[in-house]
Amino acid sequence: MDFIYQEKNKMVLGAAGRNTANIGNDYSLSYGEAKNCNQLVAKILENPDNCQELVDRLPLKHRICILSQLASLIDPRIDTLNPQMTLIPEGSYQLGLSIENLELEMLEMEKIGIGRSWIEKETPRYVSSLQEFAIGKYPVTNIEYLQFLRENPDKEIPSSWFNGTFPKALGNHPVYSINKNTAVEYCDWLSKKTGRKFSLPSEEQWEVATGNDDYKQYIWGDKFNKEYCNSLELGLMNTTPVGCFIESRSSYGIYDLAGNVEEWTSSLYEPYPGGKFLEDGFSKVDPKHPITRGGGFNGAFDLTRCTRRHSLSSITPLGFRLCESFN
């Protein structure tokens, strides 16, 4: 990864700490807290294998600060050609929303103006048998996408990159504002580079990765907490470095499945087994619309639900994570 930045770590460390000491609202740090974070970053650089484990022990604003500093250095968690993947075993998995739970969900969803059809298409709950696969521990980041662009300069530049310039201070934030075809091209490129089989996850694989075999609304439980993921309610209105939210880490150890950026899947909308076709704003435009999952930094909390089925809209910050097959 030394192709990324030429600066010495110590030269940028202090500046990175100052830049992240004031990130707004309740997540700003005092000078003393930022200095302590600098010291922890130095420890991480000396022992990079324990980066995520160390960060997970800290309060949210410290996690954001430390991982933001690593964006301006070299984040040891990110290796474009050897991404961290989590193995999901072969098995039968419970997916979707039961009819009984639909009525309970609608009591809350109707309060924020969510129509019944938007949630009913998560029904009925069903069992799916999946072969073993692996899924990215984190969404694909800006710095990974930069390497793809360097080798494929004719490919799509994210519109979220101001003036088409790589956002160095956001290197370990998830890349977003790219279309589905481009995400597939990234997977194909990485497959050729590594000799492995990468693709976008299906929506079934994505939902299994949340570890939600025993139904609950969110990865962490049935009650939303605005500090557990980067959604509209958190108030940052921008991406955060991958891996900031330990509370929304799934039981498989996968981060950012709720909030930060919404994620492409390989699936197109169709009713679940035993269900019926439901018309909503997306299906009126395209009955076979692409399915996206997880919600983003500018989306309301309902989109962070484990079973929520969404799609492309004009304001959705869409990124992706990798899936790897072995057959």
pLDDT in tens, 159-188: 999 999 999 999 999 999 999 999 999 999
Alpha-carbon gap, residue 243 to 224, rounded angstroms: 19
Task: Tell me the pLDDT of the chain (327 aa) as tens digits.
Answer: 222 222 333 333 333 333 444 444 567 788 888 888 999 999 899 889 999 999 999 999 999 999 999 998 889 999 999 999 999 999 999 999 999 999 989 988 988 899 999 999 999 999 999 999 999 999 999 999 999 999 999 999 999 999 999 999 999 999 999 999 999 999 999 999 999 999 999 999 999 999 988 899 999 999 999 999 999 999 999 999 999 999 999 999 999 999 999 999 999 999 999 999 998 889 989 999 999 999 999 999 999 999 999 999 888 999 999 999 998
Q: Let me know: does 323 contact 201? Beta carbons within 8 Å.
A: yes
Instruction: Give strand pairing partners of 174.
Output: 141
For 120-130, what is each residue's pLDDT tens digit?
999 999 999 99
- CATH, domain range 85-135+198-325: 3.90.1580.10
* Rounded Cα distance, 42 and 305, in Å: 36
DSSP conformational letter for 202: P
List the domain boundaries for the chain. 1-77, 85-135+198-325
